[in-house]
Amino acid sequence: MTSTRKSIAIDMDGVIADTITNFIAWYEKDFGIRIGKEAFHGKPEMEGLPDNAVRKYVYSPGFFRSIPVMEGAKEAVLKLAEKYDIYIVSAAMEFPQSLIEKYEWLHEHFPFISWKNIIFCGDKGIIGTDYMIDDHVRNLDVCKGKTLMFTAGHNAGIESHTRVNNWNEVLELFDKEVGE
Which of the residues are catalytic? Answer: 11, 13
**Contact at 8 Å (CB) between 161 and 131?**
no
Q: Is the dihedral of CA 174, 176, 179, 180 positive or negative?
A: positive
Q: How many Cβ atoms are within 10 Å of 110's Cβ, its own excluded? A: 22
Question: What are the distances in angstroms from CA 80 to CA 83, 95, 123, 145?
Answer: 6, 29, 24, 17
Question: What are the distances in angstroms from CA 50 to CA 30, 34, 44, 100, 123?
Answer: 12, 12, 13, 28, 28
Indicate left, alpha or beta for 133 from its phi (over 0: left) and psi (-120 to 50: alpha): beta
